[in-house]
Amino acid sequence: MTTLVKFSIGLVMLLLGVSTTAQKLNGSYSGTLDVQGMQMELIVNITPNEDGYDATLDVPAQGASGIELDSVVLQDETVTIKSAKLQMTYIGTLTENGIKGTYKQMGQEYPLTFNKTVKTKPGNTALPSTDAELDKLAAKETGDYKYSVEDYFTTPEASSFKLSPNGKYIAYMKRRKSGERDLYLKETETQKETLLKKQEEDLIRGFSWANNDRILYLQDKGGDENYHVYGVDVTGENNKELTPFEGVRVNIIESLKEDEDHVIVQMNKDNLQQEEPYRLNINTGEVTKLYTVQAGDPPVAGYNFDRKGNLRAINRIVDGVKTELLYKIDGEFKQVKLTEFGDTFGISTFNPNTENPDIAYVISNLDGDKIEIQLYDLKKDKKIKTVFSNDTFDVSGMSLSRKRNYEIDYFSYTGEKAVIKPVSDTYKKVYTRLQKEFGDKQFFTVGRTDDESKYMVAVTSDKIVGEYYLYDVKKDNVTLLYKLLPQLKAEDMASMKPITFKSRDGLTIHGYITLPNNYKKGQRVPLIVNPHGGPQGIRDNWGFNPEAQLFASRGYATLHVNFRVSGGYGKEFLKAGFGQIGRKAMDDVEDGVDYVIEQGYVDKDRVAIYGGSHGGYAVLRGMTKTPDKYACGVDYVGVSNLNTFMNAIPPYWEKYRELLYKIWYNPNIPEEKAIMDEISPALHVEKIKKPLFVVQGANDPRVNIDEADQIVESLREKGVEVPYMVKYDEGHGFGKEENRLDLYKAMMGFFAEHLKVEKTTPVKG
């Protein structure tokens, strides 16, 4: 697949634009690139313009569509397509039905024929349920409920608050009545509000302050996750795309406080399978490459820069499953650590509060089971001391004060709840003051001015969505900025309770149970078990969960299980899940269900399973592994066939392929291939006995729409009616408000039909 993705995506950029007066190329062409037995469909779409042609390319298997292309020349029936950037050439002969030719890259040649086709939407468009069918499903939820789906999932009126470095402005996303979110500024002194950037077709996926005068924001196209960086001044001027590279994924990895005109980004501009670092001028868009991954070198997973923007360390993947840390010593990158997957050693931040430039704070579990924070001399490859650790949970969070010569302000970690451990005298005073203000609620300082005169504070709990405050240190006052979803009253919300139980093979498993707010001891309520995505290194946390609150308001309990391979509980727990996805990891979910049934909370005959991504796979696996355990299931962007999933990963995951095999299964090992077949739900649909609702984003680059189509088509062939929601403007999860509302309304109708809450006593709140 490595070669396949490399070549097929290269061709994506190769089949670029058209420069010819002939009209023969007008239309769409589909071709299948075959490399070492692996296949990938490519569709090039060519339309005439005044000078010749425009062209775009779709790669259905990767959820990519509408990628703008470069140049195509037609001369005497010969089509020549080139991409200098990717060093690719395609030469073919125009035929009655398409183009027949040869694709060349880096000395390799492959036959490739394009046939004239009609461009269609991704996936099998005959499968999705109609809007009328989904509306009918949503209408099955009836009852007099205090809160609607909109109350839980309408985009907040304002969100994502960020304080400017000088404290003059607060930037945030503000909702229009129609649901779109625009980027706004508000002056902290005058409260004057200004629209900075209006959302158009594509969502603003995130933003940050580059300096006091300029904001950077990210956008992709239709959820394809190829993020580009844009910049806009606080005056609204100089709004421009800074990384206009089609089919390229860009992320900001360092904001340079010492250089206000630049940030460091990583992007796969010169190699679609490898992100490389660039210094980006935030005003002009000029980029300077800082490091090139040479052909044949191990792929790089990450880079470490110091505060001045100097590249100091490189993290590489060796032999597919090991991690190598290279540190720059005397001008040369040298290996400091080589660790097995599951072992952790990484630079958290360099320590400017020392005369020795080689001393850094690192996170490591090489001395034990749990991740701890250490002070480390990288040049000597020697631990100086452990500065923070916990016996039960991994720790990794810390905050330094730039103003106070990088003094440590606090450490943090996630246990049953989030934990903050103040360190510096200055932050202890701030923390004590805020603790007096907010009591037992969770609060976090999520931003501060460079002079530390003002702090942005976020407050939350299992019953509070989120509240933002501004703490003025000099005035010693705390001012409410905004309450997210203020219509949801804390007294009406349900409590999330941490639980611990033993798995069938003796592991300690942590999780959370959320019961309806009016639950009375002895009641046995319907349950929705919600396995998390990932799955590796991810975990569910205590806090406000809008899904669990919606479910609770309708009388359902929600169970979250941090099954083996979840993060935060040490490396042995993580490693216990390798090669156990769909097997022992699924056993843990089932054991959690049995535990809450044994506690007397749950009606064993009314248990549903719902999840997204890996959680969606767990839904399908659960309904084929233990089909009598669940009354129904909802699969949201979930994997259905491990074989096709492995063959359609995005190009920027290629360097993680061996790790993916390590966590899941390796199809090249016959014994593991047999396991993949055994636990791929799409190959065992005859075992699904209970109702299933499937939900998918058509442009999903991680879990291709074919994963959903397979399961739906197979069940439909058996005569099973499967509601199937597809959104053609979404990717891996729904980002647009109207789509989220459609999803949860249909889901609640589905649960109302199949979990059958007693309608004589509708649940309030």
Q: How far is CA 718 from CA 24, 357, 708, 714, in A?
A: 44, 66, 16, 7
Q: Measuring CA to CA, which residue among 544, 540, 542 is closest to residue 464?
A: 544
CB-CB contact of 395 with 410 (8 Å):
no
Is residue 18's pLDDT more than 70?
A: no
pLDDT in tens, 626-673: 999 999 999 999 999 999 998 887 777 787 898 899 999 999 999 999
CB-CB contact of 274 with 96 (8 Å):
no
Check residue 215 and give its pLDDT.
Answer: 93
Check residue 5 and give its pLDDT.
Answer: 36
pLDDT in tens, 398-444: 999 999 999 999 999 999 999 999 999 999 999 999 999 999 899 99
Q: Quote the CA–CA distance of 685 and 505 in Å, as a whole number.
A: 28
pLDDT, averaged across the chain: 89
**One-letter amino acid identity for 728?**
Y
Q: What is the DSSP string of 398-463?
A: EEEETTTTTEEEEEEEESSSEEEEE-SHHHHHHHHHHHHHHTTSEEEEEEE-TTSSEEEEEEE-SS
Is residue 622's pLDDT more than 80?
A: yes
Higher pLDDT among residues 23 and 431, named by residue: 431
Share of the chain above pLDDT 90, in %: 66
Q: Could you give phi then psi for residue 650, rounded to 5 degrees?
A: -65, 155
Is residue 6's pLDDT more than 70?
A: no
Q: How confident is the model at residue 11 (pLDDT cuts 50, 70, 90)?
A: very low
- Three-class SS of residue 21? coil
CB-CB contact of 602 with 527 (8 Å):
yes
Distance from first CA to last CA of the chain, Å, rounded? 50
CB-CB contact of 745 with 713 (8 Å):
no
pLDDT in tens, 145-204: 999 999 999 988 888 999 999 999 999 999 888 878 899 999 998 989 999 998 887 788
- When pLDDT is averaged across residues 717-745 and rounded to a whole number, the result is 92
pLDDT in tens, 535-555: 999 999 999 999 999 999 999
Is residue 559's pLDDT more than 90?
A: yes
Q: Is the dihedral of CA 68, 70, 74, 77 positive or negative?
A: negative
